[in-house]
């Protein structure tokens, strides 16, 4: 009689191992699978098909764009000549493109920081900003604040941009009208002055995004066990200490995701910039790469050069996401080391 042990045969069926040995065949090893119809169909549907779609609709267009970026294609003719890296050299010698890249970098740094900070403050007020005694809860009427804050996010970005461009109008805009009512006689050209154009644009983007990320952070805070917050309150932790020491460490993944998405949006920002200041602002103070790309392609007919801008923008986006993930991973590693 043959005895099969799970430790020796990897937990395989005893009868199958015995039959294989009796017939002089090798016993199936641990981890080997029989190619059944269910197994093959599972691989095809959930692995092969998604990878194929990703290659066709993501990787292939990017490779094609990389090729077009090395040509002098006009976009309206099948004729094109391969010129190598000339377009990329031309881009980094173009002061307008460098200014647009600097504006994108400013947006990618400032917009996520302000939006996440404001959203965290609002989310904390809604969830743990209530009375300092008794059960941990948010402010009175927090549901109303949640709805009001989320409302701008449901409005299309182009509508928001046009709406705020009218509010910012120097002569008959709502904002200057309010300032005149408060006694200020000088009209401020919010989008026409280089000193205020970028700040005014950043305010609009933050205003439109805060509500969504506030709701995201509220959901993350709701996932933290109430016993943890109650214990912090018993130990004498105030609201600020609770947010910094209890909420933020357990919301690191949510904050990281929010920062990446906001940064990617800021690196594009085409809709907001085109709606608020289609010309790029005074001295290109609000011009971004996607806006300059559109102008180069459809106004100048230089699709090869515009595609090179798109490749640079994609590379900058990937680098930005990698840096954010690396920084958050470094911070998380330090925290874990400190706790250990």
pLDDT of residue 337: 43
- Tell me: the pLDDT tens digits for 224-274? 887 887 787 777 777 777 788 888 888 888 999 999 999 999 998 899 999
Whole-model pTM: value is: 0.79
C-alpha span between 123 and 4 (Å, rounded): 59
Domain boundaries, the chain: 7-68, 95-339
Question: What pLDDT does 339 receive?
Answer: 45
| CA atoms in the 13 A half-sphere facing the CB of 94 | 19
How far apart CA 222 and CA 136 sit, in angstroms, is 11
pLDDT in tens, 120-144: 988 888 887 655 555 566 666 667 7
Tally of CA atoms within 13 A in the half-sphere of 108 that contains its CB:
23
Residues of the chain above pLDDT 90, percent: 45
Tell me the CATH number for domain 95-339: 1.10.3720.10
Cα-trace Rg, the chain: 28
What is the predicted pLDDT for the residue at 25?
53
In tens, the pLDDT along 321-334 reads: 999 999 988 887 54
Does the pLDDT at position 13 exceed 70? no
3-state secondary structure the chain: CCCCCHHHHCCCCHHHHHHHHHCCCCCCCCCCCCCCHHHHHHHHHHHHHHHHHHHHHHHHHHHHHHHHCCECCCCCCCCCCECCCHHHHHHCCCHHHHHHHHHHHHHHHHHHHHHHHHHHHHHHHHHHCCCCCCCCCCCCCHHHHHHHHHHHHHCCHHHHHHHHHHHCCCCCCHHHHHHHHCCCCCCCCCCCCCCCHHHHHHHHHHHHHHHHHHHHHHHHHHCCCHHHHHHHHHCCCCHHHHHHHHHHHHCHHHHHHHHHHHHHHHHHCHHHHHHHCCCCCHHHCCCCHHHHHHHHHHCCCCHHHHHHHHHHHHHHHHHHHHHHHHHHHHHHHHHHHHHC
pLDDT of residue 6: 45
> Measured between alpha carbons, how far is 229 from 235 in angstroms, rounded to an integer?
10
């Amino acid at each position: 009689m043959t005895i099969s042990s799970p430790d020796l045969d990897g937990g395989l069926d005893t009868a199958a191992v015995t039959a294989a040995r009796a017939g002089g065949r090798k016993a199936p090893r641990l981890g080997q699978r029989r190619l059944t119809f269910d197994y093959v169909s599972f691989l095809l549907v959930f692995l092969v098909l998604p990878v194929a779609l990703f290659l066709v609709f993501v990787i292939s267009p990017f490779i094609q764009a990389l090729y077009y970026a090395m040509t002098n294609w006009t976009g309206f003719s099948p004729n094109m000549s391969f010129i190598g890296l000339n377009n990329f050299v031309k881009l980094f010698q173009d002061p307008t493109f460098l200014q647009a890249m600097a504006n994108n970098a400013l947006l990618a740094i400032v917009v996520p920081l302000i939006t996440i900070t404001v959203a965290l403050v609002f989310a904390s007020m809604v969830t743990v900003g209530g009375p300092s005694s008794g059960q941990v809860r948010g402010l009175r009427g927090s549901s109303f604040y949640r709805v009001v804050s989320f409302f701008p996010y449901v409005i299309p970005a182009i509508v928001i941009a046009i709406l705020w461009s009218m509010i910012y109008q120097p002569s008959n805009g709502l904002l200057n009208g309010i300032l005149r009512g408060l006694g200020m006689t000088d009209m401020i050209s919010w989008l026409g002055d280089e000193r205020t154009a970028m700040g005014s644009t950043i305010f609009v983007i933050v205003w439109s995004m805060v509500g969504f990320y506030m709701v995201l952070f509220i959901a993350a805070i709701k996932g933290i066990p109430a016993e943890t917050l109650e214990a912090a309150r018993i130990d004498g932790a105030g609201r600020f200490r609770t947010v910094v020491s209890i909420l933020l460490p357990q919301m690191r993944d949510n904050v990281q995701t929010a920062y990446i998405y906001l940064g990617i949006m800021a690196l594009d920002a085409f809709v907001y910039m085109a709606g608020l200041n289609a010309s790029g602002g005074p001295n290109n103070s609000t011009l971004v790469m996607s806006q300059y790309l559109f102008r180069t392609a459809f106004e100048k007919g230089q699709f090869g050069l515009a595609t090179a801008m798109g490749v640079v923008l994609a590379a900058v986006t990937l680098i930005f996401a990698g840096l954010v993930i690396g920084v958050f991973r470094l911070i998380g590693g330090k925290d874990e080391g400190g706790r250990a």
